[in-house]
Structure 1
Amino acid sequence: MTQEITAPSSPPPPVREWVPPEIDGPGFDPTLAELMREAPLTRIRLPHGEGWAWLATRYEDVRAVTNDPRFGRAEVTRRRITRLAPHFKPRPGSLAFADQPDHNRLRRAFAGAFTVGAMKRLRPRAQELLDPLVGELLAQGPPADLIAAVLEPFPLALVSEVMGVPEADRARVHAWTRQIISTSGGAEAAERAKAGLYGWITETIRARREEASAEGGVLSMLGAAVGRGELSEEEAIGVAGPLQIGGEAVTHNCGQMLYLLLTRPELMAHLRAVLDRPAERDAALEELLRWIPHRSTVGLARIALEDVELAGRTIAEGEPVYVSYLAANRDPEVFPDPDGIDLTRDPNPHLAFGNGSHFCTGAVLARLQTELMVTAVLERLPGLRLAVPADQVPWRRRTMIRGPEALPVAW
């Protein structure tokens, strides 16, 4: 009788501690760069939560995880997995943690507000909101902070337009939103702002349950869906909050883009030269979106709902998995010279807005805002330059979304 010999499986990779460094500028996280070099699938421990998680960094694997229903988000709300955020209080009904078929059901209630057609119709109104902000900046004269003057107020105003926030309520809604996304004031101030914002959203959705049209924006669409029994009130509120707060990413992404343009004259010259050629202008903006480091470490995890083979390893049922879109966007197998910035890159299948069912709901809106803001700033502020040395531009600290805290400029 012969004994069957099984080849030993390779040991799991070591668990790496990943504490995001405070980086001044848009430099790539050195820990993430090391993890990418070590293996396509590694293990990490973030500053908060418990245990460890797998991390996929290769483009092919990131797409595989985010397209595979065997990796779910709903289970994350019931686990204390390793994470970057110190406080983790997901709201019931949140789109970010919904798996299919609930995800499509939630998204269907308001998806019409974020289509390409809807954004084309929104464009003239968006320009109407942006022009006075740039006009006030010009009237004030240099120096000025581009973040405070344009890059923060414009996305907040336009999101309120899409959401259907009445003019009379916008000042307090914007105040709550700013406090929620601010790095100052501490957790207590942020919680008070969340209570105010979500309380207002609850009242508004209840008041709009009988509305049958989308003319009142996303809040009316959600209220009507509750009235028809398609969503619970709790789900509608959980969907509305993150959408209302969603301008933060656009503010800081644009801040990083403009910092790059202001510190790399060749990039500024190229973009100025193609502003009146939409295809070339959009290609340049897409490359900047690919290259900038949108966030610190990673976003939200997924949980393996069964054993899954990935990158030559078995991810066991119940194990958490993170993907890094930042790493995928620097994969040399997909992007030649990935660390360089090629404003004419084509094709450019970057994952800056995510992938799969959780692809960013507001991607078309974000692209519209980015294009309008960058174009307005470059066209209307001749001789635009930093008002301080580049190494004196302050960058955000202790935050999940990277970007300059302020962008002092002159022109």
Structure 2
Amino acid sequence: MIDDAPAAPPVRTWPAQDLTGLDFDPVLGELMDAGPLHRIRLPHGEGWAWLATRHEDVRMITNDSRFVRGAVTERQITRLAPHFKPKPGSLAFADGADHHRLRRIVAPAFTAAGVERVRVKAQPMLDGLVDALLDEGPPADLVARVLAPFPVAVVCEAMGVPPGDRAQLTDWTDQIVFPSADPRTTGQVKEQLYAWLADAVRARTDSAGEDILSLLGAAVARGELTAEEAAGVAGPLQIGGEAVTNNTGQMLYLLMTRPALLARLVDEPALRPRALDELLRYIPHRSAVGLARIATEDLDLRGHRIRAGEPVYASYLAANRDPEVFSAPEEIDFDRSPNPHVSFGFGTHYCTGGLLARLQIDLLMNTLLDRLPGLHLAVPPEEVTWRRHALIRGPRNLPVAWQA
């Protein structure tokens, strides 16, 4: 323990920002330069929270049982999102044995074998979207035509959502990811989505299917969780496809504005897995920070004492640009090895659908690079519009052309 701990750092206000393109958050950049541990106040919620920016500390916090998520649901922690009402069963806010119980139920869908079952259907779906693109010829909005519909289709396939309901769930997802200024509207949409999921789970309590809703339904029938908890598990998984849309949108925008990098990936397919890891490390995939944790006991970190009950944020974006881990972190190096990025999280709450997300990213990037020769922006880079007031960053549209 530190007997004479230095005074806690001042609380830095971190306003909501509408960042465009690949601009790294200037507030986060300033904090990283100033030191490894800070106190921040975000636009919503109450009070302040610690912020850790170093790779080593981020991995420690996210993998240490002294920091928990469940207690966050009982308080209005300072946060970026305007609306905060976690659902029972949410994996993101479960800890310890409870987290293991819930995650184990859906784990079969996210093993290598489970993801491979989805791949068999995903590639033909993607090929169909690209076939239609090629038939019509350039130019085209790559977000509207491929990057948005494909992840939704894949997630719905993995979830077991009937084709007739997919358009409705897509609309609800869009309204949740890009929330209305009116909390009542966003709240109503969330209630509609979670009610649909709870009904779908109840309808599958006698199912032996391998899709996620069937796995949850069978677990409800066995008494391992309630239908409400099952909907809480399913909701974030259903919404998760939006991240793939935005991540691949950022990657393609980056490549098309740096044609030498794009040409290298076209010419060297074997390089792509490592290159995609580097792009995942580099792109600023979200705004500000994600979900907080609460310290359960007093502990010392970087010369400061974090008290029991204090909230702590661990920035994956900052960790991915830690110069102590990544040489020349502001540069894109497709030959970087090793590349211990934490873009899918770390520790207990490592992204449940990480394998499925990576499958989609691989399929999208490989297919588009191989089937759209001479891919380039159809407008000047500054004319690409970006999502506003979004938690997950990405282009709203991506007008492209190619050699027809």
* Band of TM-score, shorter chain: over 0.9
In structure 2, relative to structure 1, the CA distance for the partners of 1:394 and 1:186 (3 Å cut) is farther
Return the letter of the residue paired with 2:224: E
What residue is the counterpart of 2:13 in the other structure? Answer: 17
Question: Which of 319, 331, 347 is the aligned partner of 1:356?
Answer: 347
CA distance in 2, matches of 1:118, 1:306: 39
Deviation of 1:135 after TM superposition, in Å, equals 1.3
Deviation of 1:235 after TM superposition, in Å, equals 1.0
Please say if 1:175 is aligned against 2:171: yes
Please say if 1:214 is aligned against 2:209: yes
Deviation of 1:185 after TM superposition, in Å, equals 8.6
Deviation of 1:8 after TM superposition, in Å, equals 4.2
Q: Is the 8 A contact 1:256 1:292 kept in 2?
A: yes
In structure 2, relative to structure 1, the CA distance for the partners of 1:7 and 1:62 (3 Å cut) is closer
Q: Is the 8 A contact 1:24 1:391 kept in 2?
A: no
Question: Which of 249, 265, 290 is the aligned partner of 1:299?
Answer: 290
What residue is the counterpart of 1:243 in the other structure? Answer: 237
What residue is the counterpart of 1:3 in the other structure? Answer: none
Please say if 1:226 is aligned against 2:220: yes
Question: Which of 360, 365, 368 is the aligned partner of 1:377?
Answer: 368
CA distance in 1, matches of 2:166, 2:227: 22
What is the identity percentage for the equivalent residue pairs of Structure 1 and Structure 2?
A: 61
Question: Which of 250, 259, 268 is the aligned partner of 2:262?
Answer: 268
SS where residue 42 of structure 1 aligns?
Answer: strand
Return the letter of the residue paired with 2:348: S
Q: Is the 8 A contact 1:137 1:144 kept in 2?
A: yes
Deviation of 1:187 after TM superposition, in Å, equals 4.7
CA distance in 2, matches of 1:140, 1:178: 27
Return the letter of the residue paired with 1:312: G
Deviation of 1:209 after TM superposition, in Å, equals 1.2
Deviation of 1:331 after TM superposition, in Å, equals 0.6
| Structure 1 gaps, min length 5 | 1-5
String of CA shifts for 1:109-155, please: whole Å, max 9, x gaps: 01110111222232221101111111111222222111111001000
What residue is the counterpart of 2:305 in the other structure? Answer: 314
Question: Which of 103, 106, 113 is the aligned partner of 2:99?
Answer: 103
Q: Is the 8 A contact 1:179 1:185 kept in 2?
A: no
SS where residue 96 of structure 2 aligns?
Answer: coil
Count of aligned residue pairs for this structure pair = 401
Deviation of 1:56 after TM superposition, in Å, equals 0.3
CA distance in 2, matches of 1:7, 1:345: 42
Return the letter of the residue paired with 1:311: R
Deviation of 1:274 after TM superposition, in Å, equals 2.0
Mean CA deviation greater in 137-146 or 101-110 = 137-146
String of CA shifts for 1:285-343, please: whole Å, max 9, x gaps: 00000000011000000001111221221100000000000000001111111110001
**What is the TM-score of this pair, normalised by structure 2?**
0.96
Please say if 1:396 is aligned against 2:396: no
Please say if 1:408 is aligned against 2:399: yes
Please say if 1:333 is aligned against 2:324: yes
String of CA shifts for 1:30-77, please: whole Å, max 9, x gaps: 111110111111110000111100000000000110111111100000
Deviation of 1:186 after TM superposition, in Å, equals 5.8
What residue is the counterpart of 2:156 in the other structure? Answer: 160
SS where residue 287 of structure 1 aligns?
Answer: helix
Hey, which bits of structure 1, 4+ residues long, moved more than 6 A?
Answer: none
CA distance in 2, matches of 1:41, 1:398: 27
CA distance in 1, matches of 2:83, 2:273: 37
What residue is the counterpart of 2:137 in the other structure? Answer: 141
Please say if 1:35 is aligned against 2:31: yes
CA distance in 1, matches of 2:151, 2:181: 22
Q: RMSD across aligned C-alpha pairs, in angstroms? A: 1.5
In structure 2, relative to structure 1, the CA distance for the partners of 1:258 and 1:90 (3 Å cut) is same
Please say if 1:253 is aligned against 2:247: yes
Deviation of 1:239 after TM superposition, in Å, equals 0.4
**What is the TM-score of this pair, normalised by structure 1?**
0.94
